[in-house]
C-alpha cells in the first residue's frame, strides 16, 4: 500500500509453486522490462508475475538452476573479492551464491536501464539472500540496503547444542564455534551482509543483543513481526469457533482413549505445543517436566480436571499407529450404532404418538437393539493403554520426546490426570486421524504452551493471541519481550511470560508448573473472560500498527528512510525528532465482544449453569482497564526512540 506499483519481491523460481501461486505477466515498468529481456538474452531465466496472495504483489523470480554453470566462476570471484570460500558439498550455500549474484545482476542492470539515476531500496532477509547485498556494496550500485536477520545462524546452532547461551554471549569465540559446527562459510556470508548493509535490523530486542555479540554489530532498528488481523463482525464469533473446534478435538479424544475414557470431557483442558522439532530450543523438555509435576499436583489435590497435552512437531515416521487408527474406527462404529438405535426408537415413538398413546419406554427398544449395543460395548474393550504417539516412529528408541516420556512415566494410565498425545506430523484437514487444519486446532485448544529457550520472535503465541487463545511464552522470545514491554500485567490478558533468562531450569520449570496449575483451576466462565481479554490484544500485533499506514513512528518506514539517507546523502536527509505523543494507546473495542450494559448478560453463549452466581462481568469496565494497562505499541526501540520518519528531499 505504501509503495504501490514500485514494490517488487525477488525470489528463486520454483516451478511447482509458480504453477499454482503465480500469475506470469509482462512487467509494466519499461526499465524493468528491458532489464529482464537483457538478462534473459545473456544466459539467465527471469520470470515476472503477480503472487496470488493477499495484496497481489509483483514478483521477480530468478531461476537458480539455469545459471548453475556459472557457480565455479562466481565462487572464484567471491573468494577474490571477499575471501569467503564455500565448499562444493553445501548445496544450500551454493544456491545462496547463485541467487546472490543473480540478485546483484538484476539490481545493477535495472539501475543501468533507468533513464534517470534511480533511488532503489533493497531489503534483504537472512543469510541466504545476504550475498546480493554484499555485491551491491562491492560494486557500488545505487541501492540503499537493509538487512534483517530473523535468527542468527550461530545462535540457533549453539542453543541446539545445550550450551549456556545467554550467560556466555560475550565470551564465545565466534570463528571457532562456527568452524566447529562446519558452518563457517555460512557465518561469513551472514556477517558480511551485516557489515555491509546501510541499515541492520532484527525482529526483537533479545535477538538484537544476540546479534551485537555474534555478528559484531548493534542493530539500528528493531522491526517486530506482525499478522493480518481480521475481526469478526458477528458477536461471539471467535468464541463460537472455539466451541466448534473444541468439539472436533473431543471427538478425536473419544476415539484415542476408547476403553479408557474414564474422565469427563467437559472438565478436560487441551494444551498444545507446536513448531519445528527442536527439543530444547522450543522448550519441549521443560514442558514435559512441568507436565509430570502438574500430574502429581492434580493427583494429590484430588482434582477432577484432566489435562490432555498435544505435541505437534514433525518427525520421521512411516505411517499412522494402527492402534490410533483403530480407536477412530471404534468411535465411528459406536456413533453408527447409536444412530441406528435412535432411528428405531424414534420410529416406534412416532407410531405410538400417532394413535394417541403415551409410549411404554420399556418396549421402545427390542432384543435386537440391546444385542447391537452390547456388541458395540464389547468392541470398546482394550487390553493396552491409549498410545502416546499417534504414528510409528522411525527412530523410536532415540526420539527425545518419547525418551523423556519414558523417564517421567506419563503413559496415559487411568491414574494420570495429565495425558500426552505426540502427533509427529503437521496437521491437515485431509488427515484420516485428526482432520483439522492448524488454525482450527489452535482455536479448539484452551492454552498454547511455548516455553522456548531460543525464539527470536515466536509466531505460534502471536497466532494464539489473534485467535483469542491464551498462551505461555518466555522472556527469551521476541514475542514475550514485546508483550512485557507493552502490557503492564500480561497474565491478566492470558499471556503468561515464563522467566528463562534470570532463573535456573528447575526454577523455570516450577514457575511453568504453577502457571499450568493455576490455569487448570479456572472455571469455564473465567476462561471465557480471559479469551475475550486475549483477543483484545490482537490489535497490538496487527501489521496496520507495525506498518506505515496508521503509525507515524513505523519501524519499517524508519528503516527505509534511514537507509535512503545513508545511501544518498546528497538527496535525502534523515532528521531525528522527539515523539509527539507519550500517552497510552487506546484500544478499539473488539467486534467479537458485545456491549454488556446489564450484569446479568453472559459473556458467551457457551456458559456453565453452575457458574452463573459468580462475580458479574462488565465488559465496558474491562475494556477501560485494558486502555489503562496497555502502553503505546509503536514506541521506537531504545537506541532510536528519538528518531522519526521525517525525510525531506534536498533540492
- What are the tens digits of pLDDT across the range 62-94? 999 999 999 999 999 999 999 999 999 999 999
CA distance 421 to 408: 15
What's the pLDDT score for residue 593? 39
Compute the chain's Rg from CA coordinates: 29
CA distance 293 to 279: 19
Mean pLDDT of the chain: 86
CA distance 299 to 306: 10
CA distance 506 to 502: 12
Using alpha carbons only, give the angle 87, 88, 92 rounded to the nearest 5 degrees: 85
Q: Are the C-beta atoms of residues 91 and 120 closer than 8 Å to each other?
A: no
What's the pLDDT score for residue 39? 96
Using 50, 70 and 90 to split pLDDT, how confident is the model at 621?
A: low
Reading phi first (left if > 0) and then psi (alpha if -120 to 50, else beta), residue 638 is in: alpha
Q: What percent of the chain has pLDDT over 70?
A: 86
CATH number of 236-321+387-540: 3.40.50.2000
**What is the pTM (predicted TM-score) of this model?**
0.82
Neighbours of 493 (CB within 10 A): 24
Range with lowest mean pLDDT among 15-24, 40-49, 206-215, 586-595 = 586-595
Cell 488454525 appears where?
A: 439
* CB-count exposure of residue 361 (10 Å: 0-12, 13-18, 19+): exposed
> How far from chain centre, in Å, is Cα 122?
26
CA distance 131 to 189: 6
Q: Once rounded to an integer, what is the mean pLDDT over residues 278-292?
A: 96
3-state secondary structure 231-267: CCCCCCHHHHHHHHHHHHHHHHHHHHCCCCCCCCHHH
Handedness of CA 424, 427, 428, 433 (dihedral sign): positive
Residue 148 backbone dihedrals phi, psi, to 5 degrees: -120, 125
Using 50, 70 and 90 to split pLDDT, how confident is the model at 546?
A: low
* CB-count exposure of residue 237 (10 Å: 0-12, 13-18, 19+): middle
Cell 466462565 appears where?
A: 525
Close Cβ partners of 444 (under 8 Å, ≥ 6 residues apart): 242, 244, 245, 246, 247, 248, 249, 270, 436
Q: Once rounded to an integer, what is the mean pLDDT over residues 551-562?
A: 75
What's the pLDDT score for residue 55? 86
Strand, helix or coil for residue 137: helix
Q: Once rounded to an integer, what is the mean pLDDT over residues 218-225?
A: 90
Q: How far is CA 598 from CA 277, 451, 613, in A?
A: 48, 39, 15
Q: Are the C-beta atoms of residues 405 and 397 closer than 8 Å to each other?
A: no
The DSSP 8-state label assigned to residue 112 in this structure reads: H
Using 50, 70 and 90 to split pLDDT, how confident is the model at 373?
A: confident
In the numeric block, which cell numbers belong to residue 226? 506482525
Q: How far is CA 350 from CA 308, 355, 360, 505, 625, in A?
A: 42, 9, 12, 65, 56
Q: 327, 60, 204, 213: which is closest to 638 by C-alpha? A: 204
Domain residue spans of the chain: 1-62, 236-321+387-540, 322-384
Task: Give the side-chain half-sphere CA count within 13 A for 84.
Answer: 24
What's the pLDDT score for residue 455? 93
In the numeric block, which cell numbers belong to residue 544? 496496520
Q: Are the C-beta atoms of residues 113 and 31 closer than 8 Å to each other?
A: yes
Q: Are the C-beta atoms of residues 603 and 596 closer than 8 Å to each other?
A: yes
Starting at the edge strand found earlier in the chain, the sheet holding 120-125 runs 120-125, 143-149, 199-202, 221-222
Task: Give the side-chain half-sphere CA count within 13 A for 167.
Answer: 8
> Most distant CA pair in the chain: distance in Å?
99
Starting at the edge strand found earlier in the chain, the sheet holding 22-24 runs 8-12, 58-62, 46-51, 22-24
First-to-last CA distance in the chain? 27
In the numeric block, which cell numbers belong to residue 62? 530468478
Q: 281, 297, 27, 30: which is closest to 159 by C-alpha? A: 281
Strand, helix or coil for residue 143: strand
The H or E element that residue 408 is part of is helix 400-408
Close Cβ partners of 111 (under 8 Å, ≥ 6 residues apart): 117, 118, 120, 141, 142, 143
Neighbours of 93 (CB within 10 A): 21
Q: Are the C-beta atoms of residues 78 and 84 closer than 8 Å to each other?
A: yes
What's the pLDDT score for residue 641? 36
What's the pLDDT score for residue 628? 62
Q: Once rounded to an integer, what is the mean pLDDT over residues 88-111?
A: 96
What's the pLDDT score for residue 601? 36
Cell 551464491 appears where?
A: 97
What's the pLDDT score for residue 616? 57
Strand, helix or coil for residue 426: coil
Cell 494429590 appears where?
A: 300
What's the pLDDT score for residue 594? 37
* CB-count exposure of residue 150 (10 Å: 0-12, 13-18, 19+): middle
Strand 471-474 vs strand 8-12: parallel, antiparallel, or unpaired?
Answer: unpaired
The DSSP 8-state label assigned to residue 600 in this structure reads: T
Q: Which residue has the higher pLDDT, 165 or 348?
A: 165
Strand, helix or coil for residue 220: coil
pLDDT tens profile 322-350? 999 999 999 998 888 888 888 888 888 88
Q: How far is CA 506 from CA 289, 408, 500, 511, in A?
A: 9, 15, 10, 9
What's the pLDDT score for residue 569? 93
Residue 24 backbone dihedrals phi, psi, to 5 degrees: -75, 130
What's the pLDDT score for residue 230? 72
CA distance 617 to 369: 48
Q: 584, 605, 579, 583: which is closest to 594 by C-alpha? A: 605
Using 50, 70 and 90 to split pLDDT, how confident is the model at 102?
A: very high
Residue 618 backbone dihedrals phi, psi, to 5 degrees: -100, 110
Q: Which residue has the higher pLDDT, 266 or 640?
A: 266
Using 50, 70 and 90 to split pLDDT, how confident is the model at 3?
A: confident
Using 50, 70 and 90 to split pLDDT, how confident is the model at 584?
A: very low
Amino acid at each position: 500500500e505504501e509503495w504501490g506499483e514500485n514494490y517488487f519481491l525477488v525470489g528463486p523460481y520454483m516451478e511447482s509453486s509458480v504453477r499454482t501461486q503465480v500469475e506470469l505477466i509482462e512487467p509494466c515498468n519499461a526499465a524493468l522490462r528491458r532489464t529482464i529481456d537483457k538478462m534473459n538474452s545473456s544466459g539467465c531465466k527471469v520470470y515476472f508475475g503477480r503472487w496470488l496472495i493477499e495484496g497481489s504483489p509483483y514478483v521477480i523470480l530468478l531461476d537458480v538452476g539455469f545459471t548453475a554453470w556459472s557457480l565455479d566462476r562466481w565462487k572464484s570471484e567471491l573468494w577474490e573479492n571477499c575471501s569467503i570460500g564455500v565448499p562444493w558439498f553445501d548445496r544450500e550455500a551454493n544456491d545462496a551464491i547463485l541467487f546472490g549474484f543473480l540478485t546483484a545482476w538484476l539490481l545493477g542492470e535495472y539501475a543501468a536501464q533507468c533513464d534517470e539515476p534511480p533511488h532503489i531500496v533493497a531489503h534483504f532477509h537472512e543469510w541466504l539472500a545476504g550475498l546480493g547485498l554484499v555485491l551491491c556494496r562491492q560494486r557500488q550500485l545505487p541501492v540503499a540496503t537493509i538487512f534483517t536477520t530473523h535468527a542468527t545462524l550461530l545462535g540457533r546452532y549453539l542453543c541446539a547444542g545445550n550450551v549456556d547461551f545467554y550467560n556466555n554471549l560475550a565470551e564465545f569465540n565466534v570463528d571457532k564455534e562456527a568452524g566447529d559446527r562446519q558452518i563457517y562459510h555460512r557465518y561469513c556470508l551472514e556477517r558480511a551482509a551485516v557489515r555491509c548493509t546501510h541499515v541492520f535490523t532484527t525482529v526483537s530486542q533479545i535477538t538484537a543483543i544476540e546479534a551485537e555479540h555474534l555478528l559484531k554489530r548493534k542493530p539500528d532498528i528493531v522491526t517486530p513481526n506482525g499478522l493480518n488481523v481480521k475481526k469478526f463482525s458477528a458477536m461471539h464469533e471467535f468464541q463460537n469457533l472455539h466451541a466448534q473446534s473444541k468439539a472436533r478435538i473431543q471427538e478425536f479424544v473419544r476415539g484415542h482413549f476408547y476403553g479408557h475414557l474414564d474422565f469427563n470431557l467437559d472438565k478436560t483442558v487441551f494444551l498444545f505445543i507446536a513448531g519445528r522439532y527442536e527439543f530444547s530450543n522450543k522448550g519441549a523438555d521443560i514442558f514435559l517436566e512441568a507436565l509430570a509435576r502438574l500430574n502429581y499436583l492434580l493427583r494429590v489435590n484430588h482434582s477432577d480436571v484432566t489435562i490432555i497435552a498435544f505435541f505437534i512437531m514433525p518427525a520421521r515416521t512411516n505411517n499412522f499407529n494402527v492402534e490410533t487408527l483403530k480407536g477412530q474406527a471404534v468411535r465411528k462404529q459406536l456413533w453408527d450404532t447409536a444412530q441406528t438405535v435412535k432411528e428405531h426408537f424414534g420410529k416406534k415413538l412416532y407410531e405410538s404418538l400417532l394413535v394417541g398413546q403415551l409410549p411404554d419406554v420399556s418396549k421402545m427398544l427390542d432384543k435386537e437393539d440391546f444385542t447391537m449395543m452390547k456388541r458395540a460395548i464389547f468392541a470398546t474393550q482394550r487390553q493396552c493403554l491409549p498410545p502416546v504417539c499417534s504414528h510409528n516412529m522411525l527412530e523410536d528408541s532415540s526420539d527425545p520426546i518419547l525418551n523423556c516420556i519414558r523417564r517421567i512415566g506419563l503413559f496415559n494410565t487411568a491414574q494420570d490426570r495429565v495425558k500426552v498425545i505426540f502427533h509427529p506430523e503437521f496437521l491437515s484437514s485431509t488427515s484420516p486421524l485428526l482432520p483439522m487444519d492448524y488454525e482450527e486446532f489452535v482455536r479448539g485448544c484452551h492454552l498454547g504452551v511455548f516455553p522456548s529457550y531460543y525464539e527470536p520472535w515466536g509466531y505460534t503465541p502471536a497466532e494464539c493471541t489473534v485467535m483469542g487463545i491464551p498462551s505461555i511464552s518466555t522472556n527469551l522470545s521476541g514475542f514475550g519481550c514485546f508483550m512485557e514491554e507493552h502490557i503492564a500485567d500480561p497474565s491478566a490478558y492470558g499471556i503468561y511470560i515464563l522467566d528463562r533468562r534470570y532463573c535456573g531450569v528447575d526454577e523455570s520449570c516450577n514457575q511453568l508448573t504453577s502457571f499450568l496449575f493455576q490455569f487448570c483451576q479456572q472455571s469455564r466462565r473465567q476462561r471465557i473472560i480471559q479469551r475475550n481479554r486475549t483477543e483484545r490484544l490482537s490489535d497490538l500485533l496487527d501489521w496496520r500498527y507495525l506498518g506505515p499506514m496508521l503509525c507515524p513512528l513505523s519501524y519499517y518506514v524508519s528503516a527505509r528512510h534511514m537507509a535512503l539517507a545513508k545511501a544518498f546523502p546528497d538527496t535525502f536527509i534523515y532528521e531525528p525528532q522527539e515523539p509527539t505523543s507519550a500517552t497510552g494507546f487506546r484500544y478499539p473495542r473488539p467486534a467479537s465482544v458485545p456491549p454488556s450494559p446489564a450484569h446479568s448478560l453472559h459473556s458467551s453463549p457457551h456458559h456453565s449453569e453452575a457458574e452463573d452466581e459468580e462475580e458479574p462481568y462488565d465488559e465496558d469496565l474491562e475494556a477501560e482497564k485494558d486502555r489503562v494497562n496497555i502502553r503505546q505499541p509503536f514506541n521506537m526501540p531504545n537506541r532510536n526512540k528519538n528518531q522519526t520518519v521525517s525525510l525531506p528531499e534536498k533540492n
